[in-house]
Structure 1
Amino acid sequence: MTDKQQLFCIYYIRCFNATKAYQKAYECDYATAVVAGPRLLGNVRIKEEIFQLKQERLNREFLSETDIFQKYMDIAFADVTDFVEFGNEEMEVILDTGEHKTITVSHVNIKNDTDVDGSIISEVSKGKDGVKVKLADRMKALQWLSDHMDLATDKQKAEIALLKAKVQTDDEEETADDGFLEALQGSAAEDWMDEEN
């Protein structure tokens, strides 16, 4: 493997873009890199080197594929109640007339930073309407998980299956079939047959 091919591999594991990696390694224009980069990425020795570098990088950062998979699971299945508490509460107020009155007030309280996984939060901002907490993109995490199910441990696969089953059960409870429609269709078919005879 040449020095430039080695450099291409190093740049590639930083950006995961063959065109950019080729441009930096070979110091060429975009038009050349857009053709040559993906072609070089198809080389078996290059693929092996990239895989080895990725493994070294994971080991160096003390991350395993299982850790990464778990983080995406955490993002995909995060619950807003892990980060905020909300609801209604009774509050006593004193009117201008001096009269005491109890009213219901909605509230949202953000949990302390020591009580939440901040790595799942992508943004916290305070505006005129209050504080906004934005979580990492759940749909991207779900897509990544579906693309990388082969990296999941048996335990993680079981957790995902359990979560899927829970979602399906919740959906089925909303649209539970008590057999009424099927009985009605059967009855209607018999009625049609009677009319034809």
Structure 2
Amino acid sequence: MEKWKAARKDYVQGMKYKDIATKYSVSINTVKSWKKRHWSNDAPISKKYAYKTKRGASKVINDLDANKELTDKQKLFCLYYIQRYNATWAYQQAYGGSYNTAKVEGSRTLAKPNIRKQLAKLQASQSNDLYFDAVDAMGELAKLAFSSIGDVIEFKSVKHMKWVKIRDEKGQYEDNRGNYRLDPMVDVDTGKQAYYYENIIRLRSSDEIDASSIKSIRIDKGNAIVEMYDKQKALGILLKYLNKFTSTAEQGNTVIVDDIDK
């Protein structure tokens, strides 16, 4: 196994650069290079625990950190699961691996009694530091509800004139058969030059759009297939919780939206 792959676990566990360098007999600059090239999407567990640090977060983190029944990876799984309530995604974020592996192992991890016990505590907590609070949820739902396919796809019609290819020794164009010229193609109905419209569809670059409203994107036979999230479903959920959110917000309470996919 390559050294950077073996060292990745140590980095995620919070080991310092100099200690990693000593362990694998490399320079600190080499370790920093590994971090930049291979670990850019990772963070030490201590930093991952600090997700969305707000008032009251430290107590929840301390309680989670004090749980001796769970491994560090299991604790991370709990934190990620609370964010999306998606066991497959949570497993991939905490453990890595392929989607198919995460789909199986994520369900198994979620079913473990000690995991479910910890998740129940997080859900019951009044802190919203580790998962969506009402404002976050409403904002995300509103983004989906009012998203448009025009946000990710640019489409337009371009007018082109029609021409007739005429063989001509003095023509300004040339192909493998010799010179030719282009004469206007006349529309028999109007007596004017004929034309046609070309419909152009272009997928916007990823740095131009907010991809959070895209459910999936794939290439099929050279064509980009884009699937957006269900706007009507998102709008329905948004309306369902709007009154509840408004009334509780006036009282200074927090509404936890935990059934977005139901």
Pick the TM interval, shorter chain: 0.3 to 0.5
The TM-score with structure 2 as length reference comes to: 0.37
Bigger fraction of residues in helix: 1
